[in-house]
Chains A and B, each alone.
Chain A
Amino acid sequence: MAANRLSASQLRQRLERALDRRKYQEALRLGKELVKREETPEHLDLLSRAYQGRIRGLAGQGLFKEANGLLGTMGERCGRGLEYERLRLVVAVRAASWHDAVSAYADCLPDLTGEERLKLEALFGAALLAGNQVPVDLFPEESLVATHLPLAEAALDAFCGGHADEARTALKKIPFRSPYRDFRLLLNGCLLLAENPLEADRFFLKIPADSPYASAAACCRCRTYGAREVLKCFQEGTAGEQRLLARVFHLQAAETRFLSALPEAARDGYRFYQLVSKDGRCLSGTVRQRVLKRLLPHCSAKIVDLLQKYHRSMEPAEMQRLAALAAELDGAWEAAVEFWGEYLEILAPEDPLYGLKSALVLRHTAELLQTEGELFFGPERLEVLEESLRHDPEDADTWLEVIRLASRVDSLKRAYRLANEALEVLPEDPRILLAVMEAAVNRRAFKKAAALAGRVLAIDPINSRAKNLLLVSHLGHGRKLTRQGKFELARREFEAADMDVRSLRYRGRGLICLGMLCLLEGLETEGHRWVERGRAFNGSPLFSGLLALLEAHLFGVESSLIKNITAELRELVKGEPVREDVLRLADWMWTLAGEEWLAFEKFARVLKGYLSRAAAEQWDLDDGLLLCRALHRGGFLVALGKVAEPLHRRWPGHSEIHAYELLSRARNNGRMLRPEDAWEFLVLSREFKKAGKHELAKDLSRGYRLASEKVGTRMPEESREIFELPRSLFLEEMDEDDDDDDPFFPEQLDLF
């Protein structure tokens, strides 16, 4: 409804509502109409409020001419009272009309609060320091703006002239209660900015947000920003903050766009490359090229195109290297091996680092070949690593790897040859000496092994591995001499073996061997005595009986003593398992090797019932794991299930325990397997292959075949080649109850 049709009271109501809603343009229209009808002091006051709101609004939009015009009208219509003067001051300050502002300030002064005076004087002071024409002579006498100005000017001049000490001295002269207080904080911060940004920041932070120095302080603080803060600002900051940063760092619009897009693009290698390539011109040419080169391997298959289009000037070998890395990151390890091969072919032999680069690339290739497990590329890896040693022969780790690999994928003979070659290059390296010792023991070159042990112990007198190998060498050599009928020499070896034995595994072993030697010579009484003495050293009747039985098998002794020990063991294994014995036995079974393991297999079944009862007890993770490993190795799958199942329930995320639990259920031709187990077998098998636990991986992959056949799960095409292995596993296991009837029947040793 038009204002002129409304009554005065209606007009007033509408006016008040418009003022409450800050609709000042409407309020002004209604107020003028109301005052025209009834010019009362109350109505004039309402009109004045409408004018004030509208004037502030115009000034806020930078329309100072319009604001000043309206201000004049307000003065004429509503009088030039206090509100008029305050508004005049606000408009003048917003318009930065310093003459008007100081004049209005002088007029308003009696009515301003102390805080308002300080705020205005600080602003006038800052305007003066910034070089604005502020009429100093118009300030009232009591104002400190003019009084302290020379002090602040002196400090600023000193700072801008590079005289930091002078600036500090001048700043100290500015009193605390001064319009230049915030200037003092700002300049103190600036003086510290280069040397101590953190301390500088403390000064900047003290400057209030409504201070005329606040914006300058924010700019200075930006100078202390690191990359993270800047990036965060471009990612999450307001437009104002981003403008401020752009101003501080003189960033062009294209550069701010680049910075804003960077965090998102960096999540993907190719997008990252594209962004730096197209919009990263703010980086210097060298930096940009280096960043792009580092991004290339992350561009997946697109790298080939990118190299051909944009990096033609790059060295061909470098191109192959980047392509190989891209293939690796893409999981295409076969392609990577090919690229590395091409890299080696074109690598310039004149390169001073040719030999080292070749060796490292060959070793890297060997690692890639291991991706699918050494069962598949073992011989190739061995060749590649041997080739790398021709370029860099002093790498002990590679020697150790080729020796280990040769014994696994080729022959003990080759391992021994390699070990001896390593020894020629690194004669003082204890790890090489130990590897040669092991290879010598495996090749039954016991004398050589014993001699090498002396060299290791001369370097490291407490090396337990060397001591154990020395002991094994003595025992092995003694047995060898015994078989050759050289009993006297053999006796000396056994006596030597009995010296300085620390390991429980070997305690009394030399004496038992002496006893076996006597038995072979027909000296029954003496033989019994030595065996008993050896067993007594050992502590546990069960364990010492097993040792004696093992030696008897190794020596091929047939004596009444062996029958007695066997009978004794049959009785002992019927008793309650002793925890300490079980763990010792598990540790022993886990570490037995070579001919000792073969001999143990012949009577291992005697332990079946005992281990099965022991397995039913509660085991913690460490002991349980040891027991699982031993039972798995021994093929005691019923007992393995008894340990592994409860452990798997308690630690479902433990992959090795899970593997044993699965394997235990694969007994009896996999009758207890579930459909989903096939996948579990496959996943775990790959995991253990990568971890280098090849025996376990091998059993799991065989388990996978068995499970997939039993439950009808179709084997994925890509896995078929990997698991093309002999299927002679998980034969029917005899029922557990049967074992007491025939404790010497081999349980299930086809596994190994």
Chain B
Amino acid sequence: MKTPFEILGIAEDADDRQIKKAYLEAVRRYPPERYPEQFQRVRAAFEQIATEKARVGYMLFDTTLPEPEEIVDRLLRQRRLRPVALRENLRDLLGESVNDCCRNFDL
């Protein structure tokens, strides 16, 4: 499970106004009629941190167990090659790909 802050893409010290803005942007991106699941997620996240009282309550009492996917996601975010890296690596990638093909080649 991502934290509500991560779902809305905001910092943990965001105020009410920033949270509402992020929520409205997320709703525009995931309108409920087209993306019901994502919308529910966004809505639930917003409700968890919409007010200062809710945020403090979340910080104090949340016991959601981190999910393995969340950990992997964080890891990939550190490692995922940016487009520029793909550009730099494409020739090497082609070389490896040709070698793979050669190893299995037959007529």
Interfacial residues, chain A to chain B (CB-CB below 8 A): 56, 62, 86, 89-90, 93-96, 112, 116, 123, 126-127, 129-132, 156, 159-162, 190, 193-194, 210-217, 219-220, 223, 225-228, 230-231, 248-251, 255, 259, 262-263, 266, 269, 272, 276, 280, 282-284, 287, 291, 294-295, 297-298, 321, 325, 328-329, 353, 356-357, 360-361, 364, 392
Contact = CB atoms under 8 A, between A and B. Distances in A.
B60 A93 contact: no
Ranked 3 nearest A-B pairs via Cβ: A216-B97, A227-B73, A215-B97
A356 B51 CA distance: 12
A160 B81 contact: no
Interface stretch (B17-25, B32-40, B42-50, B64-72): B64-72
A250 B79 contact: yes
Contacts of A89: 107
Contacts of A161: 87
Contacts of A94: 102-103, 105
Contact of B94 (A216, A297, A321): A216
B101 A126 contact: yes
Contacts, number: 163
Q: How large is the interface on B (under 10, 10 to 19, 20 to 34, 35 or more residues)?
A: 35 or more
Contacts of A160: 87-88, 90-91
21 contacts: A112-B107, A123-B101, A123-B102, A130-B95, A132-B98, A156-B90, A194-B82, A215-B96, A216-B94, A219-B97, A228-B69, A249-B75, A249-B76, A249-B79, A262-B71, A262-B72, A266-B67, A269-B65, A284-B74, A294-B66, A329-B63
Given A130-B91, A216-B96, A291-B66, A283 B80 contact: no
A269 to B, nearest CB: 7
A193 B83 contact: yes
B53, B66, B104: residue with the most chain A Cβ atoms closer than 10 Å: B66
B52 interface: yes
A156 B91 contact: yes
Nearest to A157: B91
Given A86-B107, A214-B101, A298 B67 contact: no
A294 B98 contact: no
A335 to B, nearest CB: 15
Contacts of B101: 123, 126, 210-212, 214-215
Nearest to B92: A130
A428 B13 CA distance: 32
B97 A230 contact: no
B14 interface: no
A93 B61 contact: no
Contacts of A353: 52, 56
A231 B72 contact: yes
B9 interface: no
A193 B100 contact: no
